[in-house]
């Protein structure tokens, strides 16, 4: 296509979220990259017809409306694992390729899970706030040890397996439920595989979730499941908001059935303070972070380079790695 100045127009890439510059620099060699943060859904729909590629993390909702408004979009690239913020069936119908970075941030997500596990066990956020406020509350802030405790892992995929290995290193017993997990891989990691969530829940002192958000995992842990856990068990969710039902979790914290929750992901992000998730965050026995699982310098470089290389391949007419 000839541009008004007589040169061939360079393909255009829209990047509405913060992405590591390492990947964007690769794109800039041959493409025009526009970083436009804070677009409303309406603004995205208005400008998307001008773009050949769209690069997102988890905040931008790439809905069917956005995809239908696009005129020359060839690829939506998700700088992360989950593509649940992209309407993949609609993209497929429209011939738009969706790519992701299946492993660029798995170490970061696993390390954040362990950081939350230890922070919850030893009341680190509460203790930090207390000492910064000039208090010295040693008896109020007694924690629990994780060594010898049982960690339940729901989803023994890439992240779940790293978490399991780290937890074994901390001296925990690890039991996992995952219908797709290989028995040999679990055995090599010293993880006991059980055949269902129902079999897992009553055994664990800590439970961590590492499944994608699917119709089958939405609300997978609701009050009927939480009630089967040991009274005083603790729960972590660094996967996707809504896999643990937020209403049920808040009720279980309030009743003492669940002694602690460590939550990085919410049904709606950012959660409104007066929403159920907002109340969960405010609960004294819940520690929370703002979807930081993948937020390390290293992971952001990995996913950025990974998806930007795929965008270049697709715009050059080649097949992508992860589509």
Cα–Cα distance, 79 to 299 (Å, whole number): 10
Q: Vertex 52, ends 46 and 54: CA angle to 5°?
A: 70
- Each residue 274-303 as x (binds ligand MLT by CB under 6 A) or -, in order, gives -----------------x-xx---------
155 near ligand MLT (CB under 6 A): no
Output the smallest distance, CB 294 to ligand MLT, in A: 4
Phi/psi-derived region of residue 80, left when phi > 0, alpha when psi is between -120 and 50, beta in every other case? left
Cα–Cα distance, 85 to 156 (Å, whole number): 23
Catalytic residue among 269, 283, 298, 309: 269
Active site residue 57: no
Active site residue 137: no
Q: Which of 53, 57, 146, 236 binds ligand MLT (CB under 6 A)?
A: 57
Question: Which residue, 218 or 283, is less far from ligand MLT as judged by CB?
Answer: 218
Cα–Cα distance, 306 to 258 (Å, whole number): 39
Three-state secondary-structure class, residue 272: coil
Active site residue 240: yes
Output the smallest distance, CB 307 to ligand MLT, in A: 11
Cα–Cα distance, 207 to 150 (Å, whole number): 8
Question: Which residue, 17 or 50, is less far from ligand MLT as judged by CB?
Answer: 17
Output the smallest distance, CB 291 to ligand MLT, in A: 6
Q: Give whole-number Cα distances, 284 to 82, 116, 142, 148, 254, in Å.
A: 30, 15, 15, 26, 10
Question: Which residue, 161 or 294, is less far from ligand MLT as judged by CB?
Answer: 294
Cα–Cα distance, 323 to 173 (Å, whole number): 36
Q: Where would I find the H helices in the chain? A: 21-28, 41-47, 64-69, 88-93, 106-121, 124-132, 158-169, 183-188, 197-200, 223-226, 246-255, 276-282, 297-315
Q: Which of 16, 86, 91, 105 binds ligand MLT (CB under 6 A)?
A: 105
Output the smallest distance, CB 243 to ligand MLT, in A: 13
Catalytic residue among 78, 112, 210, 240: 240
Output the smallest distance, CB 162 to ligand MLT, in A: 14
- Each residue 73-92 as x (binds ligand MLT by CB under 6 A) or -, in order, gives -------xxx----------
Q: Which residues bind ligand MLT (CB under 6 A)?
A: 57-58, 80-82, 105, 291, 293-294
Residues with catalytic function: 240, 269, 291
């Amino acid at each position: 296509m000839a541009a008004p100045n007589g040169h061939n127009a360079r393909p255009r890439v829209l990047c509405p979220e913060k992405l590591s510059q390492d990947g964007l620099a690769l794109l800039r060699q041959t493409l025009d990259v526009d970083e436009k943060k804070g677009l409303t859904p309406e603004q995205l729909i208005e400008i998307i017809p001008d773009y050949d590629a769209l690069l997102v993390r988890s905040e931008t909702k790439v809905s069917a409306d956005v995809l239908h408004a696009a005129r020359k979009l060839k690829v939506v690239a998700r700088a992360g694992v989950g593509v649940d913020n992209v309407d993949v069936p609609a993209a497929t119908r429209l011939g738009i390729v969706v790519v992701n970075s299946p492993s660029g941030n798995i170490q970061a997500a696993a390390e954040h899970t362990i950081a939350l596990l230890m922070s919850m066990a030893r009341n680190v956020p509460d203790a930090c706030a207390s000492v910064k406020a000039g208090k010295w509350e040693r008896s109020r802030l007694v924690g629990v040890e994780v060594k010898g405790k049982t960690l339940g892992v729901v989803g023994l995929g890439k992240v779940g397996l790293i978490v399991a290995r780290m937890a074994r290193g901390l001296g925990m017993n690890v039991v996992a439920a995952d219908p797709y997990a290989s028995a040999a891989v679990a055995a090599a990691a010293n993880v006991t595989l059980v055949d269902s969530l129902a079999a897992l829940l009553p055994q664990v002192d800590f439970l961590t979730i590492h499944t994608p958000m699917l119709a089958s995992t939405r609300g997978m842990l609701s009050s009927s499941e939480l009630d089967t856990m040991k009274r005083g068990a603790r729960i972590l969710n660094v996967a996707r908001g809504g896999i643990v039902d937020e209403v049920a979790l808040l009720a279980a914290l309030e009743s003492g059935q669940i002694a602690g929750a460590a939550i990085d992901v919410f049904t709606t992000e950012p959660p409104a303070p007066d929403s159920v998730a907002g109340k969960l965050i405010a609960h004294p026995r819940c520690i929370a972070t703002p979807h930081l699982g993948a937020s390390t310098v290293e992971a952001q470089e990995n996913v950025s380079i990974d998806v930007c290389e795929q965008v270049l391949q697709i715009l050059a007419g080649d097949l992508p790695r992860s589509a």
